[in-house]
Structure 1
Amino acid sequence: MILCFSHLRWNFVHQRPQHILTLASTANQIVYFEEPLFEVVPQAFMRSNDVSQSIRVVTPVLPVGTTPHAADAVQRRFLDTIVAATHQDRLTTWYYTPMALRFSDHIHCDVCVYDCMDELSAFKDAPPELVQMERRLLERADVVFTGGQSLYEAKRSLHRSIFPFPSSIDFTHFHQARAGGVDPIDQADIPHPRVGYFGVIDERLDADLVAQTAMKMRDVHFVILGPVVKIDPKGLPRSENLHWLGSKDYAELPRYLRHWGAGWMPFALNAATRYISPTKTPEFLAAGIPLVSTAIVDVVRTYGAEGLVEIADADDVEAKLRLVLARPRDHLWPQVDAYLLDMSWEKTWSAMADHIEHARSTRSILPFRRSA
């Protein structure tokens, strides 16, 4: 069994955890343990959702007003129940958030994995103790994966067995956007040309750059898909050629992308974006969308260096967007397809599984036992 601790809701945005753990579930039972929800309930309970025969999402539901100490104690008790109920011989703990150690550090496992997607300590509203908790997790983990090359370089001296796994691509899914199809209803009346963005809308998005660019390019309409988190939606720029269409299901994305003339990743250059390796970069490219990005390090030295993504700042973003809008849509498809050929999530999971199995075979620990 893989017992995964995550700060991300399973049904929030379909991204790295869902891709990897869905593949892992073909040979493992998965329990995806989310951060708690606080609701008006008389007592704490576990809300379970079987999203497949081998993936169960567990969400602790705690009464409003539960203290952090009490929340940790309740979640520790819930974990003991989950681990005691499993009849499998092997247990892998998988962490996306170091904060989960507060209530899970008593669990004995065969292998402990830390899949470090981002530098979470640099994100808005990060817990002050996050850096200390990550140090503890790095001491405990048998193998560490990072969500990009820059993040790997920043952390490789902190662990003996750490490996970079940048964002991969579900090529077949996004490739659908290269074929024709009916425009979604909420996008159908938006004039062309269109420039689009999809993803979480938070402090990593450069709202000022979006506003300035929309003002300069009045003839272009900017479509933005995704949930707004950690920032006030009222503070987002508004204009007649800016269209905030909200969150969309992963399955729906190709239907929107096929009707965009270009893609744009207007990330702010700040601490929260220093180490990101955006999953949407290969997704845009697989969809056949010409792409412009701000100077995110991992994008610049991979896709930018290969000439697959135009890199722009505030001074030349209009010129770069007009450049890609003027190109034939299939201008770079042969080069893009060749570059993405070996970047499947299946290949990523296979390599991860090999590292985990190696850690399992070489780890020297006490005989496995479930938590008391």
Structure 2
Amino acid sequence: MFQRPQHLLSRAAASYRVVLFEEPLFPQDQAGLPRLDLREMAPGVQVATPLLPPDWDEGRRDAALRELLDDLLAGQAGGPVAVAWYYTPMMLSFSGHLQPAVTVYDCMDELSAFRGASQGMQLLERRLMQRADLVFTGGRSLYEAKRGLHPSVHLFASGVNADHFAPARQPQEDPADQRDLPHPRLGWFGVVDERMDLDLLRAAAERRPEWSFVMLGPVVKIDPASLPDLPNIHWLGMKGHGSLPGYLANWDAGIMPFALNESTRFISPTKTPEYLAAGVPVVSTPVADVVRDWGEDGLVAIASDAEGFVAAAEATMARPRAEWLPRADVRLARISWDGVWAGMDALIHQAHAARGTDPSPTPATSLTL
């Protein structure tokens, strides 16, 4: 997956030495544990994945994670951490002793509403809000929910790398695993989890057995056996980010069949502008941010049930590109990831100035948790 964190961190690496400390994994082979697996995600971005024994309790895990984190940072040149950038409050349980110059909370979603979320997440988020200098939100609904909880909350809805998806607007070789699927093809790429309305997907496929529903991405936190098993729904698994334009170029529509529940109440899907950048018309269920940011402008078709979803897909596939694509391009030009990062970086430098610190003379460390 190459989404908001990857886009932002790869750009941050132009100014910072970026260390991404991931959530731990628990391998069955416990030889040499605990330890960190280190790799480079992009130039200047080091990814550290903690590996811990699966049978340790929470206290022992946090102690080990703190020690692994301290050892990792001790080996970083450039002095103390200039920016601690949090994506989940849960990381505060073992990193709260750090004293970065600036603390950022980039809130992409209401994680406490997700399936399996820790009961302590809301408490840790309150503590993180107290420590943070800046809070960024990944969508309008999240901004409205968080802006009263901190004096410096800023809306940064997800951007788009339009150049990456632009090749899909021209003929591309059809990937082998979808080459023989009949048109029209309606496609999805992304994580398949409790946020997807599998009943709606099944019902739409039943109503149009001649359509091909192409589903790309990993199945997470739900039983794979719960996926609708119909001849015209094709679960093709995870694909590399670089291969997506080849798939999209051969789709007739992009679909976002999100369930309407607590886990989708605040989402602002990154795939919305990515579909449009690929020149693919989009149909979605009425997720609040999609409706307000894209549906009201007629750039995404909206439907709340299977019958309406099918009708909306038929209508949006029939629309000439010239009717909607130029307007979409105007919007896309305003939300590049370069622009999103530039706005964030300016606020981070203001926060440094307010604290009397300056990360610019040397490649300071930015720690992402």
TM-score greater than 0.5 by the shorter chain: yes
Give the number of equivalent residue pairs: 354
The change in CA–CA distance for 1:160 and 1:364 in structure 2 (over 3 A counts) is: farther
- 2:312 counterpart letter in structure 1: K
Q: CA deviation at 1:37?
A: 1.1
Q: Which residue of the other structure, out of 101, 126, 129, is the alignment partner of 2:120?
A: 129
> How does 1:208-287 map onto structure 2 within 5 Å?
208-287=199-278
Residue in 1 that maps onto 2:343 = 351
Residue in 2 that maps onto 1:4 = none
- 1:306 counterpart letter in structure 2: D
> Where do 4+ consecutive residues of structure 1 move more than 4 Å?
none
Gaps of 5+ in 1: 1-12
Q: CA deviation at 1:237?
A: 0.5
- Preserved CA contact (<8 Å) 1:96 1:115: yes
Deviation string for 1:169-222 (max 9, x for gaps)? 000001110011110000001111111111100000000000000001112111
Residue in 1 that maps onto 2:34 = 44
| 2:262 partner SS | coil
| 1:31 partner SS | strand
> How does 1:27-176 map onto structure 2 within 5 Å?
27-39=15-27, 40-42=29-31, 43-89=33-79, 91-176=82-167
Deviation string for 1:286-323 (max 9, x for gaps)? 10001111101111111111111111111411111111
Residue in 2 that maps onto 1:8 = none
Residue in 1 that maps onto 2:320 = 328
Instruction: Provide the C-alpha distance between the structure 2 equivalents of 1:328 and 1:240, rounded to a whole number of angstroms.
Output: 29
| 1:343 partner SS | coil
Instruction: Provide the C-alpha distance between the structure 1 equivalents of 2:212 and 2:202, rounded to a whole number of angstroms.
Output: 12
TM-score (norm 1): 0.93
Instruction: Provide the C-alpha distance between the structure 2 equivalents of 1:206 and 1:338, rounded to a whole number of angstroms.
Output: 31
| 2:264 partner SS | coil
Q: Which residue of the other structure, out of 2, 8, 13, is the alignment partner of 1:25?
A: 13
- Preserved CA contact (<8 Å) 2:140 2:157: yes
Deviation string for 1:212-259 (max 9, x for gaps)? 000011121111111000000111101111111111111111100000
Instruction: Provide the C-alpha distance between the structure 2 equivalents of 1:52 and 1:122, rounded to a whole number of angstroms.
Output: 31
For the aligned residues, what is the CA RMSD?
1.4
Q: Which residue of the other structure, out of 198, 216, 229, is the alignment partner of 2:189?
A: 198
Identity %: 48
Residue in 2 that maps onto 1:16 = 4
| 2:348 partner SS | helix
TM-score (norm 2): 0.93
More off after superposition, 328-337 vs 96-105: 328-337
Higher relative contact order (CA 8 A, sep 6+): 2
Residue in 1 that maps onto 2:360 = none
